[in-house]
Amino acid sequence: MITYLLHTYDFNLRHARHLVTGLTPDQGVAQPGGLVNHICWTLGHLATATDVAMAELGGEMIIPEATAMKFFPSVPITDGVADYPSIEELMTMLEVGHARVASRVSEATAEQLDARPAIEMVQRRFSRVGDFIHYIMSAHEGVHLGQIADARRAMGLENTDL
């Protein structure tokens, strides 16, 4: 089953790259039609989620706390280009995070995946690390990639097939 999950995770990353290629800095923070989660916030949120996944898999979090805190739910989202890393920086963070999680999850033991999450925010939603990891690598990314596609549509940009 892990092979299928890793395939989806890789596809999600390629899809993210496809959706943001060629966007300007202003498009990265645009909130058209009342959409709050702009593209830069969404990419940073996905990258931060990889760090949380790594922590739950026993790895080290590498995104500086001040950066990661910009991308948690309930944090005010601004439309200031200077308030966020660039789209390219955020994609690099996401790519690094994906590589780390894919490597770590491939080596995870049944005991690790069946364990109770260590992070309280994760414990509130998931009783097992494996359930959280599966969600983060699949459904969570799908939801947020859909938001990026919606933001593109609301800006009048075409969403081409991957």
Sequence spans of domains, the chain: 2-154
User: Per residue of the chain (162 residues), what is the pLDDT tens digit?
Assistant: 789 999 999 999 999 999 999 999 999 999 999 899 999 999 999 999 999 999 999 999 999 999 999 999 989 999 999 999 999 999 999 999 999 999 999 999 999 999 999 999 999 999 999 999 999 999 999 999 999 999 999 999 998 888
Q: Which residues contact 121 (CB under 8 A, 6 or more apart)?
A: 52
Both tokens of 22, joined, read 């060629």
Residue type for 8, please? T
DSSP-H helix ranges across the chain: 2-20, 25-28, 39-56, 65-68, 87-107, 110-114, 120-123, 129-137, 139-154
Q: 78-98 burial, b if ≥16 CB within 10 A, otherwise e?
A: eeeeeebbebeebbebbeebb
Q: How far apart are CA 152 and CA 37, in angstroms?
A: 12
DSSP-H helix ranges across 65-119: 65-68, 87-107, 110-114
Identify the CATH class of 2-154: mainly alpha
